[in-house]
Structure 1
Amino acid sequence: MSRGVRTHPDRRVEKELLQTHNYVGGLDEVGRGALAGPVSVGLAVVGPSTDDAFPDGLADSKQLTARVRTGLVAPVRSWLVDYAVAHASPAEIDERGIVGALRLAGLRALQGVAERGHAPGVIILDGVADWLTAPQPDLLSALERGECPDEMPRPDASLPTPPVRMEVRADARCAVVAAASVLAKVERDALMADLDDPGYRWASNKGYASPAHIKGLTALGASDQHRRSWHLPGLDRRG
């Protein structure tokens, strides 16, 4: 496909999976490459009764303007059986690494819909790397089994991780994953815009490495919202 040409999502993959599962989830993340703020995971759930006609204009959130994304939130929520957006904090990213933090946020989103009776039987995940399913042995698996010190947070051990179907460019090709991407992007952008900001320009850069953000890092140093385990540009130039 030529660069700049929008891919329009469809329901082919999710409808195939709905032949054998009551609920199918689409999962997408936002904030993975940011220098600051949480990493956020959106989960969208569809079922056999979900309308074939998904919201007009739905697409990968990266292909949409902020205004269009925000306008899609209410129609997307109405179209879905259920949805959740969950986060892992900068401190959790530093503690677990980005993949562990993504999985933690994904489990939190899954727990949210499971508590309302809508746990998906299978997940469609964008890309080629399954960050939701833990390898064995794995720290987060140990947490789930209770094999961890009491002071460490542990996910709900009763919640199994559903099987994952990887789909390249699922956020652009699969309607349920596009829905998850829109919900996650809008919520995380709002969180970043609402943060106390002494000069990092969160509202405009959402924690990514913009020139204004790097200028703020140079002048102010790292804040509690920064991922301190990462190499943060600008800090080595502070005088």
Structure 2
Amino acid sequence: MAAAAPTLGWERELAAQGYAVVAGCDEVGRGSLAGPVSVGVVIIRPETAVELPGVKDSKLLRPAVREALIPDILAWADASAVGHAAAHEIDSLGLVSALRLAGMRALTQAAGTLMPDFVILDGNQDWLSEPAQADLFGSSLPAAAPVPWTLQTRIKADMSCLSVAAASVLAKVERDAIMMGLAEMYPAFGWDANMGYGTASHRAAIVADGPTDFHRKTWRLV
């Protein structure tokens, strides 16, 4: 049975609670061996937003369908952006901090048009918020840079919340375009097909040719 399409149900519940501007946020590329991690953000006013037919979690849509939806998503959103953190940033910062960097790049850009009151983050891990720092005596200090929104994680939000599903499509299409561009420079790795993920042929090419500067060299590549 096909999965139910995402709706604005929760976004409208948030609006009823006083959150007039809601951002959906999702990442792509977390498990890849090469290329960036990318985070999409879509900001809407739920009280006036309408449903957007055809938009689903990006993993459930064929590439041509995802690409065809981009103009509709951009027109539907009050603000949107995609942020990236490159392979060398993942290596130097670690994956969670790189996801935070990509997410804040996207949110900063989108919030320049419209500041959200609430951020819905797909999954069960809050990788977007700056963690509290511990001092030498083990006590918890507040985050250095408070943000002007409330954030909540939601498992499978990309399948239930339309703003998050739309963000996932933006992030997937933009990251895929980056990987297809890199594939022209490094055809041996098949990035136009595997998008940097660890297929057998991709790993075999790493063994044969060695990693590129676009590989995450701190990861187990082979």
Q: 1:218 Cα shift?
A: 1.1
Q: 1:203 Cα shift?
A: 0.6
Find out whether 1:211 has 2:209 as its counterpart: no
Render the CA deviation track for 1:114-172: whole Å, top value 9, x for unaligned.
Answer: 222x111110111111111122118xxx9x95xxxxxxxxxxx6x72622122110001
Task: Select which of 168, 173, 194 maps to 2:160.
Answer: 173
Give the residue type in structure 2 aligned to 1:81. D
Give the residue type in structure 1 aligned to 2:147. P
Take 1:75 and 1:50, find their aligned partners in 2: how far apart are those partners? Answer: 16
| Alignment partner, residue 39 of structure 1 | 37
Take 1:73 and 1:178, find their aligned partners in 2: how far apart are those partners? Answer: 12
Consecutive unaligned residues of structure 1, counting only runs of 5 or more, are 146-156, 234-239
Q: CA contact under 8 A between 2:11 and 2:46: conserved in structure 1?
A: no
Take 2:210 and 2:61, find their aligned partners in 1: how far apart are those partners? Answer: 32
Find out whether 1:133 has 2:129 as its counterpart: yes
Find out whether 1:75 has 2:72 as its counterpart: yes
Q: 1:61 Cα shift?
A: 0.3
Q: CA contact under 8 A between 2:43 and 2:78: conserved in structure 1?
A: yes
1:48-59 equivalences under 5 Å are 48=46, 50-54=48-52, 56-59=53-56
Q: CA RMSD in A?
A: 1.8
Q: CA contact under 8 A between 2:12 and 2:47: conserved in structure 1?
A: no
Provide TM-score, normalisation by structure 2.
Answer: 0.90
Task: Select which of 3, 19, 25 maps to 1:6.
Answer: 3
> Across the two proteins, how many residue pairs are aligned to each other?
212
Render the CA deviation track for 1:49-88: whole Å, top value 9, x for unaligned.
Answer: 643221x211000011101111111111111111000000
1:75-114 equivalences under 5 Å are 75-114=72-111
Secondary structure at the counterpart of residue 158 of structure 2: helix
CA change 1:221–1:161 in 2 (3 A) is farther
Take 1:113 and 1:162, find their aligned partners in 2: how far apart are those partners? Answer: 13
Secondary structure at the counterpart of residue 169 of structure 2: helix
Consecutive unaligned residues of structure 2, counting only runs of 5 or more, are 135-140
CA change 1:60–1:30 in 2 (3 A) is same
Provide TM-score, normalisation by structure 1.
Answer: 0.84
Secondary structure at the counterpart of residue 177 of structure 1: helix
| Alignment partner, residue 154 of structure 1 | none
